[in-house]
Structures are given as structure tokens and as C-alpha cells.
């Protein structure tokens, strides 16, 4: 299961509304890609619809589109949106990660 905090859901829904996307069919694609300084990196995109092979999860009315490769690496992940003096953005807490880079955008398992 993936946990998406209320702050993250609010930010994604605001972005989707500003793009004129329909919340009933559109969703947040959450995926893991090879790369980054630790081996894997997270990627978030909003999309109008899932692909045929996506697993579709829901978090407080927000659809999550996740491919099978990413799903196995995202089990138990918490996605949050934080705002600090240094900036704002999405963060990931991954209990499966055995290491990560200094910027927090890539991880190893």
C-alpha cells in the first residue's frame, strides 16, 4: 500500500484543476525509474487516464496509476508535499530503501 498525505493530495488536485483535468478519470502516475546516484529514482506525473497494465489505487479521491515494476519498489512508501524556507516539493519515505542520495530523490534497495 502507498500512503499519500493530505498535503500531497491537495497539491496534485490543485495542479490537475489548473490543467483542466477531470479528477474522475485522471490520476497521478507514481513510478520508479532506473537512475539517479543511488540506483533508482522516483517520478511523478499527472495523466488523463491509466494504461491497460496499470494497477490503479486510490488515496482520498485521487487515483494513483502504478506499473507492476514500480509497485514492488513502492510498497509502504509515503508521499508527502512539504514547504520550507528552502523550497517546496514532494518527498518520499520508503521503508524498503537501503540507501539514498543526499538530495533524497534517488534510492537503493
Under 8 Å between Cβ of 42 and 8: no
Residue 105 belongs to some domain of the structure: no
Residue 27 belongs to some domain of the structure: yes
Residue 101 belongs to some domain of the structure: no
The pLDDT tens digits for 44-93 are 999 999 999 999 999 989 999 999 999 998 999 999 999 888 888 998 88
The pLDDT tens digits for 9-58 are 999 999 999 999 988 899 999 999 887 666 788 899 999 999 999 999 99
Q: Find the length of the chain.
A: 109
Q: Domain holding 53: CATH number? A: 2.60.300.12
Cell digits for 82? Answer: 512539504
Residue 107 belongs to some domain of the structure: no
Residue 104 belongs to some domain of the structure: no
The model's pTM: 0.85
Strand order across the 40-47 sheet: 55-59, 62-66, 27-34, 40-47, 106-108, 99-100
Cell digits for 33? Answer: 525509474
> 30 is in which domain, residue-wise?
3-96
Count of domains observed in the chain: 1
Amino acid at each position: 500500500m502507498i500512503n499519500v498525505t493530505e498535503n500531497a493530495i491537495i497539491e496534485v488536485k490543485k495542479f490537475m484543476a489548473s490543467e483542466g483535468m477531470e479528477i474522475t478519470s485522471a490520476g497521478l502516475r507514481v513510478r520508479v525509474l532506473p537512475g539517479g546516484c543511488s540506483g533508482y529514482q522516483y517520478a511523478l506525473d499527472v495523466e488523463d487516464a491509466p494504461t491497460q497494465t496499470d494497477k490503479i489505487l486510490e488515496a482520498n479521491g485521487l487515483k494513483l496509476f502504478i506499473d507492476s515494476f514500480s509497485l514492488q519498489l513502492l510498497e509502504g512508501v509515503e508521499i508527502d508535499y512539504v514547504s520550507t524556507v528552502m523550497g517546496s516539493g514532494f518527498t518520499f519515505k520508503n521503508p524498503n530503501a537501503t540507501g539514498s542520495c543526499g538530495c533524497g530523490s534517488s534510492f537503493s534497495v
